[in-house]
Amino acid sequence: MYVKSLTLKGFKSFASATSLRLEPGITCIVGPNGSGKSNVVDALAWVMGEQGAKSLRGGKMEDVIFAGTSGRAPLGRAEVTMTIDNTDGALPIDYTEVTISRTMFRNGGSEYAINGTSCRLLDVQELLSDSGIGREMHVIVGQGQLDAVLRATPEERRGFIEEAAGVLKHRKRKEKALRKLETMEGNLTRLGDLTSEIR
Ligand code: ATP
């Protein structure tokens, strides 16, 4: 599995549709300061469902939309499409090529699609989490982030490993199921009380 291409349109400094074709192995993006190298990495995180504006180096989510320059008006929406080569079947979906896209409008809200079909953020997260690319985005290591990993608490480190191993998703599901069970038990107790009152 590898990222085959990435298309940015209206995303940060990429006002016009810009496509990057990637090959398996290591890809280096080079360019002068401020030319948009980190914006490409932000686009990768964003299309995979990143929810934190700060992680995308912005103040608010809207900041990912092209804000305009002296020669070009701001745009109303940002779109990023990522195509993944899935010939090895690493993603649990019956396609050898998987396209994930995210669109955001200036008036708010994000739309996601997998292979052209609208879906929820959760569907994108679930699809990717089986391949070790989880919602915490530990696959993208930004500048200065290595220090944070080295300084992480044992619990945080365990989280990184669990996510990479694909266990985190199941732990979260288990926690959710336990919470539901607890509510149910509360309801049952309440029901028992009511039944004995009626009797
Ligand atoms: P460096 O080598 O210094 O780290 P870089 O190549 O990684 O630079 P980026 O940080 O990716 O550069 O890009 C910064 C540029 O993107 C800035 O010129 C900034 O004005 C522009 N930019 C960021 N967000 C937007 C936006 N929403 N609309 C228009 N331009 C934007």
**Do residues 92 and 129 touch, judged by C-beta distance below 8 A?**
no
Check whether residue 124 and residue 179 sit in a common domain.
Answer: no
Check whether residue 147 and residue 199 sit in a common domain.
Answer: no
Check whether residue 7 and residue 69 sit in a common domain.
Answer: yes
Enumerate residues 6+ apart whose C-beta is below 8 A from 169: 126, 129, 130, 134
Query: Is 187 marked as a binding-site residue?
Result: no
Ligand 1 atom at minimal distance to the Cα of residue 31: 6
Q: What's the mean pLDDT in 93-121?
A: 94
Distance CA 19, CA 8 (A): 6
Distance CA 85, CA 55 (A): 26
Check whether residue 186 and residue 88 sit in a common domain.
Answer: no
ipTM of the complex: 0.96
For residue 129, pLDDT beyond 70: yes
Q: Residues with Cβ within 6 A of ligand 1?
A: 12-13, 31, 33-39, 63, 65-67
**Do residues 81 and 100 touch, judged by C-beta distance below 8 A?**
yes
Distance CA 96, CA 105 (A): 30
Q: Please provide the average confidence, as pLDDT, over all residues in the chain.
A: 90
Residue span of the structural domain in which 176 resides: 169-199
Q: How confident is the model at residue 58 (pLDDT cuts 50, 70, 90)?
A: confident
Check whether residue 150 and residue 75 sit in a common domain.
Answer: yes
Q: How confident is the model at residue 176 (pLDDT cuts 50, 70, 90)?
A: very high
Percent of the chain with pLDDT over 90: 65
Q: What's the mean pLDDT in 51-64?
A: 85
- Residue 165 Cα, ligand 1 centroid: separation in angstroms? 33
Check whether residue 37 and residue 74 sit in a common domain.
Answer: yes
> Which stretch of DSSP H or E encloses residue 76?
none
- Closest residue by Cα to atom 9, ligand 1, is 36
Q: What's the mean pLDDT in 150-166?
A: 84
Check whether residue 161 and residue 173 sit in a common domain.
Answer: no
DSSP classification of residue 41: H
How many domains would you assign to the chain? 2
Q: How confident is the model at residue 143 (pLDDT cuts 50, 70, 90)?
A: confident
- The upper half-sphere exposure of residue 49, i.e. CA atoms within 13 Å in the direction of its Cβ, equals 22
CATH number for the domain harbouring residue 80 = 3.40.50.300
- Closest residue by Cα to atom 13, ligand 1, is 36
